[in-house]
Structure 1
């Protein structure tokens, strides 16, 4: 029996914006190969597959790109939580992922727009070997002089691993034309999900792009897992206060603008990422 597949776009209030995700609300009985085939047929950067838990607010969730399973996906989490809230009402959900337990809360704005806030697993940040950084820059065709010296390269994790590289200018970020296979090979070796390319507009506002060749996708339009990892990165490097609300703009260079809100709380290492999601007709 073919399961029902929902299509939602996350981190936007318009179906043509943000990042599309496939959602299967009941994947009971689907094999790994079956989930991978659905994800590949959809062609979105990730799709979420749910197995109901002991109540209608708890689910085991698995995420597949067109090429492989990934441990965690932020935009599919936000999209899935909004889809559930449309059917079950707003409030709290618990997603059991391969990365760990991810609580998600859905609230309604005054205009009725549903917004989901996920709480990441415990993050951590590590350095990047000089040779690996040089290989990443070569694959991107970015001269080292085009990096922002105030935001040092790091690998950050908040459910999935992302290499964070900061461009010195918005123009550098806008010019993305990379060696797909070369970057994919490096990412597989370092177990990276995306490369988080960012530019800092002001103290709390950033623009991002995320190459995702290991998932079979040139670029991810709005990346919640990377935004969570980026929030952890900024705090670990002392680039923002321990308590802060950040805005990440992503997808504009692809014609799919999205907006992600990243919240850091003092005394809590976990990172919260919020955004709207809407069905795709």
Structure 2
């Protein structure tokens, strides 16, 4: 029997978060069985397997209802939280192999009953969209350029390409409407895995709000997307909306879904050059189910 633990990851003040099924002993599962679990729950799902050798402590795999993903931030954090709270971690620093490359997790084992978890992401790359690409995005979200800040629309990536769209206000952001077929067509045309409109909540305090409309996950919107928030952090840095330091950037997401979530991002620097980032958040256990 497969033990599936349902988590809410990137919770805000103890509620909200992105639902995520986790299987911490997935060695016997086939890819089709993992995908079946993701389809049953309708959410991105994480699966923990033993490392096949080398320097890694674990191998993590990730599925959405329609396909396997190379990397999933909230499933990684949810899996590490589950391993920690069940006493399965020997160290607060965990090396993980994923299909997008190696990831290191940092788990606050001094509070092992409810640890804050952060994971590494590589330095981000941010590229301004062309005018033709920008027009496709505006059409997909039924926006005009006057709805946006005087900043470029950008494709940004740490693990997966996300399209950053700078809205003028949080209200405008949360009134956006999208459709799955239109989003998929747009993302396919511009080389993106999701549209990530964002707004400035409080620039001095490094607070922002965002939404994620995924390309082809099998559902229209995510309540929290760590990989997109990491990409956004490098977009904010390039656009000078945050200072070039390692202070935590707070990204709220999921408000229109009734599942307000909070993602923390800290950019790391060496000799004033960004070298990567940490994304982190809180997790809450919801249920456990055998299958």
Q: TM-score of the superposition, structure 2-length normalised? A: 0.88
- 2:116 alignment partner in structure 1: 115
Give, in angstroms, the shift of residue 115 of structure 1. Answer: 1.0
Asked if 1 retains the 8 angstrom alpha-carbon contact of 2:174 and 2:255, the reply is: no
Asked if 2 retains the 8 angstrom alpha-carbon contact of 1:156 and 1:162, the reply is: yes
Give, in angstroms, the shift of residue 146 of structure 1. Answer: 0.3
Question: Residues 16 and 66 (structure 1 numbering): CA distance in 2 closer, same or farther, change over 3 Å?
Answer: farther
CA distance in 2, matches of 1:109, 1:200: 34
Deviations 1:96-119 (A, max 9, x none): 111111101111577953210011
Partner of residue 50 from structure 1, selected from 37, 48, 51: 48
Give, in angstroms, the shift of residue 165 of structure 1. Answer: 0.4
Deviations 1:45-92 (A, max 9, x none): x11122111599711111111111121111111111101111224611
Secondary structure at the counterpart of residue 114 of structure 1:
coil
Deviations 1:151-185 (A, max 9, x none): 42110111111000011012210112123211111
- 1:100 alignment partner in structure 2: 101
Partner of residue 279 from structure 1, selected from 254, 279, 285: 285
CA distance in 1, matches of 2:243, 2:279: 17
Asked if 1 retains the 8 angstrom alpha-carbon contact of 2:183 and 2:195, the reply is: no
Asked if 2 retains the 8 angstrom alpha-carbon contact of 1:92 and 1:105, the reply is: yes
Q: Mark the runs of 5 or more structure 1 residues left unpaired by the alignment.
A: none
- 2:265 alignment partner in structure 1: 262
- 1:252 alignment partner in structure 2: 255
Of residues 51-60 and 19-28 in structure 1, the stretch that sits farther from structure 2 once superposed is: 51-60
Question: Residues 3 and 182 (structure 1 numbering): CA distance in 2 closer, same or farther, change over 3 Å?
Answer: same
For residues 206-217 of structure 1, the aligned pairs below 5 Å read 206-217=208-219
Of residues 202-211 and 188-197 in structure 1, the stretch that sits farther from structure 2 once superposed is: 188-197
Q: Does 1:148 align with 2:146?
A: no
Give, in angstroms, the shift of residue 222 of structure 1. Answer: 0.7
Aligned residues: 278
Q: Does 1:131 align with 2:137?
A: no
Deviations 1:127-155 (A, max 9, x none): 21221221111111111210111x42110
CA distance in 2, matches of 1:213, 1:238: 28
CA distance in 2, matches of 1:159, 1:29: 27
Q: Mark the runs of 5 or more structure 2 residues left unpaired by the alignment.
A: none
Q: TM-score of the superposition, structure 1-length normalised? A: 0.91
Secondary structure at the counterpart of residue 259 of structure 1:
strand
Give, in angstroms, the shift of residue 264 of structure 1. Answer: 1.4
CA distance in 1, matches of 2:29, 2:236: 39
| RMSD over aligned Cα atoms | 2.2
Secondary structure at the counterpart of residue 264 of structure 1:
strand
